[in-house]
Amino acid sequence: MEGVLVLDKPPGMTSHDVVDELRRRTSRRRIGHAGSLDPNATGVLLLLFERATKVSRWLMGLDKQYVFTIQLGIETTTHDRWGQIIRSSDLDNLDERLIGQAVMSFRGRYQQIAPAVSALKYRGRPLYKIAREGGQVPIKTRLVRIRSIEILDVCLPMVTLKVDCSSGTYVRALARDIGRQLGCGATVFCLRRTRIGPFDVEMATSLDDLVSRKVDLSKIMLSIDRALGYMPRVTVRQGRERAIRMGKPPEIDDLVNPDEIPEEGDFCLVDSEGNLIGIGHNQAKGTKRMRLDRIL
């Protein structure tokens, strides 16, 4: 049994806790995930079984969608309501127009500083472990992209938003930055990831249903082929598959439909019967300088 499972993570568990639980339940050791969620967050978590762990990087890099509620008027150490309050402010001068202007100012690309309590690593150690020990380290800014952001509801001090963003965006940091833009502080009150790339929360299975065996894991698991279905597919000519499976980078003459290769980026290599061989990458626009990034 191998493939990708779209899970609706419950609150109160780390992503690794979920992996450990499924390892116990399925007696399979080779399980991973494609992008962690905060322990108190819920929503889409992609779990990878067996060979699917080899494609984690291509799933981790997909855009994300979140629905989240922020509480205005406070800022905390963790940028969510489970941290210690470090500043507070009244909201007397705030109205929906000012909130809307501040929120919409984050559309597009911006340099974001990740929370000090996060899974990012500094010299090999997760930031949250350093923070627990009372340590402080410099955190570099990262360029993130807010593709769209929408206010769903305002009931002060609470504001509920929906955001579509690039991989690597921290919603807690976005909430912090919105609060600072408004001058009153803000922190995440609740957070739900509703989509990763094409994987919507409506596709997700609950952990309770898996644990209670209400669903058959083998029937809801997505094949690696289907999980990578968002990528262009390029067919390798008969007789050339073995060389590529042995690690040879693809060349134009190896391929049936080279026009399907993206100008720059990743694509799936399949044999004449549509079976997945590997993942290739075109390295520069206007060229067909390809490399083989993964053999499957």
Domain ranges of the chain: 3-62+198-226, 64-194, 231-295
Q: Would you state the torsion angle of the CA atoms of residues 221, 7, 64, 101, taken in this order, to the nearest 10 degrees?
A: 150
C-alpha to C-alpha distance for 75 and 88, rounded to whole angstroms: 6
SS3 222: strand
pLDDT in tens, the chain (296 residues): 899 999 999 999 999 999 999 998 888 889 999 999 999 999 999 999 999 999 999 999 999 999 999 999 999 999 999 999 999 999 998 999 999 999 999 999 999 998 887 777 767 777 777 767 677 777 889 999 999 999 999 999 999 999 999 999 999 999 999 999 999 999 999 999 999 999 999 999 999 998 887 788 888 999 999 999 999 999 999 999 999 999 999 999 999 998 899 988 999 999 999 999 999 999 876 667 789 999 99
Enter the DSSP assignment of 54.
G
Topology at the third CATH level for domain 64-194: Pseudouridine synthase (3.30.2350)
CATH for 3-62+198-226 is 3.30.2350.10
Query: Which CA distances in Å does 144 have to 49, 95, 110?
Result: 29, 27, 6
Which pLDDT value is given to residue 139? 82
Spatial contact of 98 and 156, defined as CB atoms under 8 Å apart: no
Instruction: Count the neighbouring beta carbons within 10 Å of the beta carbon of residue 91.
Output: 14
User: Quick one: which H or E segment has residue 199?
Assistant: strand 199-200
Q: How far is CA 244 from its chain centroid?
A: 30
Which pLDDT value is given to residue 286? 62
Which pLDDT value is given to residue 122? 67
Spatial contact of 249 and 290, defined as CB atoms under 8 Å apart: yes
Check: CATH 3.30.2350.10 for 231-295?
A: no
Tokens encoding 139: 């955190």
C-alpha to C-alpha distance for 148 and 168, rounded to whole angstroms: 15
Strands 3-9 and 276-282 come out as unpaired
Catalytic hit among 38, 80, 177, 254: 38
Cα–Cα nearest to 167, from 138, 193, 201: 193
**Is-same-fold flag (3-62+198-226; 64-194)?**
yes
Which pLDDT value is given to residue 131? 66
Catalytic, 38? Answer yes
Which pLDDT value is given to residue 215? 82
Strands 74-76 and 85-88 come out as antiparallel
C-alpha to C-alpha distance for 55 and 193, rounded to whole angstroms: 21
Amino acid at 96: E
Spatial contact of 257 and 281, defined as CB atoms under 8 Å apart: no
Amino acid at 192: R
